[in-house]
Amino acid sequence: MKKIQLSLIYLSVAIAALVSVNSYSQNRTVLAEAERISGDRFMIVTRTPQGAVVNALTRPNRETLAAIDAGLTELFEVARRNGYRKALRYSDYTIYIAKADREKDADGRYSPDIAVPSAQYAGSAYDKGGFIYVAGIVVALNPCAFMIAEHTKDYSRISTAVRNEGEHLVLYHNDRKRFGETADHSKGGGHPILQ
Ligand SMILES: [Zn+2]
């Protein structure tokens, strides 16, 4: 059975409203939000070969950076097929790679995920007692930023998480109505949104 991958847009909306006039303080605000969500300190900043910004705890390996680019490439292709034109540059995206809060899912499969507060998922099937595990989470809508967990293998999982979180950001910048309809998975609906 294919697991639905969740993301939690609601955390981002407050941050998007706080975005300030210059990009330095903008980046500081987004970084602070990423550190608040994960409890990590992101000391490493680098770029993928295609130019996406990556913040991490340790220097990401080549496989990780390539997997991020592959996920964005797939995202941009499907976005163009849907007629979307904005936020389709690699450099539009900042990815935070957080420490995984679990390495395996309930079935024992390799599944590095991030634990985040349940909020609107409280009481749903996803609720693990005040928090839920997610493959990725949107950190900010503008500038585009999301978070995934560190992987040491199965890098295609990174590509999938990147594509999935990126969907929310592409929709925010191109189709605000559809964004609003698909941002919250607590009442059903998952990924992929864009076909
Ligand atoms: Zn999602």
Q: Average pLDDT in the 177-194 region?
A: 89
Q: State what percent of residues in the chain have pLDDT above 90.
A: 69
Residue 100 has which token pair?
A: 């995984």
pLDDT score of 10 more than 70: no
Write the CA distances from 21 to 13, 27, 33, 140, integer angstroms.
Answer: 17, 11, 17, 15
Q: How far is the CA of 158 from the centre of ligand 1 (A)?
A: 14
pLDDT in tens, 64-93: 999 999 999 999 999 999 999 999 999 999
Please, what is the average pLDDT of the chain? 87
Write the CA distances from 74 to 39, 166, 170, integer angstroms.
Answer: 30, 10, 12
What residues does each domain of the chain span? 10-177
Write the CA distances from 109 to 131, 153, 154, integer angstroms.
Answer: 20, 12, 11
- Where does the pLDDT of residue 18 fall: very low under 50, low under 70, confident under 90, or very high at 90 and above? very low
pLDDT score of 174 more than 80: yes
Q: How far is the CA of 125 from the centre of ligand 1 (A)?
A: 16
Q: Which CATH number fits domain 10-177: 3.40.30, 3.30.70, 2.60.60, 3.40.50?
A: 3.40.30
Phi, psi for residue 79 in degrees, rounded to 5: -65, -45
pLDDT in tens, 49-64: 999 999 999 999 999 9
Q: State residue 3's pLDDT score.
A: 46
Closest CA to 168 of 145, 134, 149: 145
Q: How far is the CA of 159 from the centre of ligand 1 (A)?
A: 14
Q: How far is the CA of 133 from the centre of ligand 1 (A)?
A: 12
pTM above 0.75, yes or no: yes
Q: What Rg value do the Cα atoms of the chain yield, rounded?
A: 15
